[in-house]
Amino acid sequence: MTDVSQVRALAVLGLGRSGRPATLLARRRLPQTRVWAIDEGEVDGEVRAELEAAGAAVLAGRDVVAAGETALPAAVELLVKSPGVTDESAVLRAARRRGLPVWSEVEFATRFLANRLIGITGTNGKTTTTTLVGRILEDAGLPVAVGGNIGHALANLPEVVTPKTTVVAELSSFQLEDIESFRPDVAVLLNLTEDHVDRHGGYEGYVAAKLRIFENQTAEDIALLNADDAGTIAAGDVPGQGRRAWFSTGDGAEGQVAGVSDGRLWVEVDGRRQDLGAVAGLSLKGEHNLQNALAAAAATAALGVSPESIAHTLRTFAPIAHRLQVAGVVGGVTYVNDSKATNVDATLKALTAYRGPVFLILGGLSKGSAFDRLAEATEGLVKQAVLIGRAAPEFERAYAARAAAAPGSAVPYVTLPDLAAAVAWCAERAQPGDVVLLSPACASFDQYRSYEERGEHFLRLVGELRAEVERT
């Protein structure tokens, strides 16, 4: 295992949200270590000035691209990689060819964090569950910091949090694929379904990256899993020595510590079931959010939060932005922003929250998944599929195939150039009681910088619709 205090020179690759704080952390905590900050794209002048003022050597832009693998200085003994860096990076290839340790930012950051840590991963529900866990701890009066794939990069936290602060980290497969000793006290796997297969070379590689969250756990730690998720069950035994515990919307799974009985949630505390209130009283709606709530309850109960405090937060927690966020009701039509649904499974789960007629806006940048399953599964749930973005032709093929195979039940579809056109088209045709749901099943990067920007655009478009209705 690499001892970071003995590293004489390191490089941080990718100087965005994770790489910048990782570089600054290295300079603060490893003053005798030479630090290079490298980015194959251009770097903002203020960021460059900040990193250079801290004592890092900045290499970026065309010079790095032109140098290829030789851009990685010969003295470097450790590479810290931002999650957005792919295997196509020449600098990363150079590090691997030289046999250097390659760490993700979360691996590097937690070498300087002795705090109690809850790590949360899965294909869908990570942000909701991570935020909910943080809120439960906060409402219970406990010091907490939420970070990782949301909020603060973990490299921002050393020297900021107190020793008693619990760190709650949302963890993507990109962050977990390059860990070495990273070890959460409580590791939560919400679910597994096809996602990021383009990055990981297939579904098996994606699952392997996700399961790494457990591999360094000891018998003192807890590995919390979803007994309702077929992908998790199919993955088989997870690595590590953490104590296996399960949550389920049912009742009776072996090793179950949170579940539902007679319409009421429960969590196990000291071997006894404690009531958390009625399912109908949850602030978050949908089957997937029931699973998220149970995971959050089990994780926080394991750290000693009282059932009464957990139940209070479950009743009062507000939905997060871009995840089944009601953008407004215009002319009796409900507009819902689910921009964070960037894969097929997330969109299917979003549909469980609605039983009325749905206009479903799909499309963006495909992650390599097929859409045939989605086209079939939306039958009976969706009134109209509205296709946008670069992936629209792929959706067209899937829906056309369903129309040929099942003409009586296939969902009708229309292709439009962008989100503004889609919202306008739906507004002209939706009737009172209908739902217009932006749940794209795709990444946003064909037309937006992030799913947040896409969701904000949707919110603005709905606001403009409302203003127009009020004027007329």
Please check the confidence at residue 32 and state whether its pLDDT lies above 70: yes
pLDDT at position 196 is 65
pLDDT at position 437 is 96
Determine the Cα–Cα distance for residues 393 and 399; give it in Å rounded to an integer.
Answer: 10
Please check the confidence at residue 36 and state whether its pLDDT lies above 90: yes
Determine the Cα–Cα distance for residues 26 and 290; give it in Å rounded to an integer.
Answer: 40
Determine the Cα–Cα distance for residues 440 and 374; give it in Å rounded to an integer.
Answer: 11
Q: Which residues does 332 contact at the CB level (< 8 Å), separation at least 6?
A: 431, 432, 433, 434
pLDDT at position 119 is 98
Please check the confidence at residue 149 and state whether its pLDDT lies above 90: no
CATH H superfamily, domain 8-100 = NAD(P)-binding Rossmann-like Domain (3.40.50.720)
Mean of per-residue pLDDT scores for the chain = 93
Alpha carbon dihedral 341, 344, 350, 356, in 10-degree steps, equals: 130
Determine the Cα–Cα distance for residues 293 and 315; give it in Å rounded to an integer.
Answer: 10
pLDDT at position 184 is 98
Among 197-201, 295-299, 421-425, which is the least confidently predicted range?
A: 197-201
Every domain of the chain with CATH number 3.40.1190.10 lies at: 107-316
Please check the confidence at residue 371 and state whether its pLDDT lies above 80: yes
**Averaged pLDDT for residues 374-388:** 93
Residue from 81, 152, 196, 200 carrying the catalytic annotation: 196
- Closest alpha carbon to 335 in 432, 438, 470, 429: 438
Backbone angles phi, psi at 216, to 5 degrees: -100, 5
Per-residue pLDDT of 316-351, as tens digits, reads 998 777 888 888 888 888 899 999 999 998 898 888
pTM for the whole structure: 0.75
Backbone angles phi, psi at 31, to 5 degrees: -65, -20
Per-residue pLDDT of 75-106, as tens digits, reads 999 999 999 898 899 999 999 999 999 999 99
Tell me: domain 107-316, CATH 2.60.40.10, correct? no
Every domain of the chain with CATH number 3.40.50.720 lies at: 8-100
Please check the confidence at residue 151 and state whether its pLDDT lies above 80: no
Known catalytic residue: 292?
no
Determine the Cα–Cα distance for residues 186 and 221; give it in Å rounded to an integer.
Answer: 6
Buried b (16+ CB within 10 A) or exposed e, 418-430: ebeebbebbbeeb
CB 26 within 8 A of CB 9: no
**Averaged pLDDT for residues 32-56:** 95
- Considering the segment(s) 325-471 as one domain, its CATH architecture is Alpha-Beta Complex (3.90)
**Averaged pLDDT for residues 388-394:** 96
Please check the confidence at residue 23 and state whether its pLDDT lies above 80: yes
Please check the confidence at residue 251 and state whether its pLDDT lies above 80: yes
**Averaged pLDDT for residues 17-32:** 95
pLDDT bin (cut points 50, 70, 90) of residue 198 is: low
Determine the Cα–Cα distance for residues 472 and 467; give it in Å rounded to an integer.
Answer: 9
Determine the Cα–Cα distance for residues 450 and 219; give it in Å rounded to an integer.
Answer: 39
- Closest alpha carbon to 35 in 67, 68, 4: 4
**Averaged pLDDT for residues 350-358:** 78
pLDDT bin (cut points 50, 70, 90) of residue 470 is: confident
Q: Across the strands, what pairs with 267? A: 258, 274
Known catalytic residue: 164?
no
Residue from 81, 126, 200, 340 carrying the catalytic annotation: 126
Known catalytic residue: 126?
yes
**Averaged pLDDT for residues 230-238:** 91
Every domain of the chain with CATH number 3.90.190.20 lies at: 325-471
Per-residue pLDDT of 254-290, as tens digits, reads 899 999 999 999 999 999 999 999 999 998 888 888 9
pLDDT at position 356 is 65
pLDDT at position 91 is 96
pLDDT at position 193 is 84
Q: What 8-state DSSP symbol labels residue 51?
A: H
- Closest alpha carbon to 266 in 248, 244, 292, 243: 248
Per-residue pLDDT of 183-197, as tens digits, reads 999 999 999 986 666
- Closest alpha carbon to 373 in 346, 337, 407, 335: 346
Q: Which residues does 410 contact at the CB level (< 8 Å), separation at least 6?
A: 375, 379, 399, 402, 403
Please check the confidence at residue 360 and state whether its pLDDT lies above 80: yes
pLDDT bin (cut points 50, 70, 90) of residue 159 is: confident
Residue from 81, 115, 124, 149 carrying the catalytic annotation: 149
Please check the confidence at residue 178 and state whether its pLDDT lies above 90: yes
Cα angle vertex 154, ends 218, 301, to 5°? 50
Please check the confidence at residue 228 and state whether its pLDDT lies above 80: yes
pLDDT at position 195 is 67
Q: What percent of the chain has pLDDT over 90?
A: 78
Per-residue pLDDT of 49-65, as tens digits, reads 999 999 999 999 999 99
Determine the Cα–Cα distance for residues 118 and 188; give it in Å rounded to an integer.
Answer: 8
